[in-house]
Amino acid sequence: MDQMKTGQFIKEMRRIRGLTQRQLAEELNISEKTVSKWETGNGLPDAGLMLPLSGALGITVNELLSGQRLEDGQYRERAEENLSAFLQDKVSGTTKSVAAIISFILTILSSLALIVLCAGYADVDIRLRITLICAAFLNIAAITVLLCIMGASSEIFECPECGKKFAPTLFAYIIGAHTLTKRRFKCPHCGKKSWCRSFWRK
């Protein structure tokens, strides 16, 4: 999807419907800044908002994704292109997240297995046992830091308050409370602290 093209299309259709940004925002139960963000090409509507937004603008979701009115003969071709692009973006981000989680879990499990083995079952010298246990804990710490560094360099976040995207510092990324798709940050643009949505850098 071309963000600028889609944004201009949303703006054009909103004006044709005689709606202000505030009226459209109220109809969708979102902030006026979010509508402004879409129309200036600084973001795209979430998947869950595409259907109600299309209804409010009197267009189809396919036209919204295409950023233009479509003739009957264009629908099938555009629908396939839009679906392919949408799924590619989703799969790319999901694949990276799942790969990182799996790597972390496998590292933790292997390290814990080594700790348990050395703690009571392995018939080895006490100094070697302590060394192996320390190595396992260091391994857990190292993979945790590495994943944080990779995440901080691969993700950008969108502030729900002002709609602008930013890259957090490594320290803020590590200590920030998070879910699978959001982290709590203080936005460097508007200064407000909120749950910011994650996007993988392309």
What residues have CB less than 8 Å from 192, skipping those under 6 apart? 159, 161, 162, 186
Residues 201/73, Cβ–Cβ less than 8 Å: no
What residues have CB less than 8 Å from 195, skipping those under 6 apart? 160, 179, 182, 183, 184
Report the DSSP pairing between strands 155-158 and 165-166: antiparallel
The first and second tokens of residue 53, run together, are: 């937004």
Look at residues 78, 89, 111, 92 and name the one whose alpha carbon lies nearest to residue 9.
Answer: 78
Look at residues 28, 88, 15 and name the one whose alpha carbon lies nearest to residue 54.
Answer: 28
Q: Give CA–CA dist 147/153, Å, rounded.
A: 10
- Could you read off the pLDDT tens digit of each residue along the chain, which spans 202 residues? 678 888 999 999 999 999 999 999 999 888 899 899 899 988 888 877 888 898 899 988 878 878 888 775 554 555 555 555 554 454 445 555 555 666 667 777 777 776 666 666 656 677 777 787 787 777 777 777 777 776 677 778 888 888 888 888 888 888 888 887 788 999 998 989 999 988 766 5
Go through the chain and tell me how many residues it has: 202
Look at residues 188, 92, 104 and name the one whose alpha carbon lies nearest to residue 150.
Answer: 104
Please name each of the domains of the chain with its CATH number: 3-70 (1.10.260.40), 90-200 (no CATH)
Residues 160/197, Cβ–Cβ less than 8 Å: yes
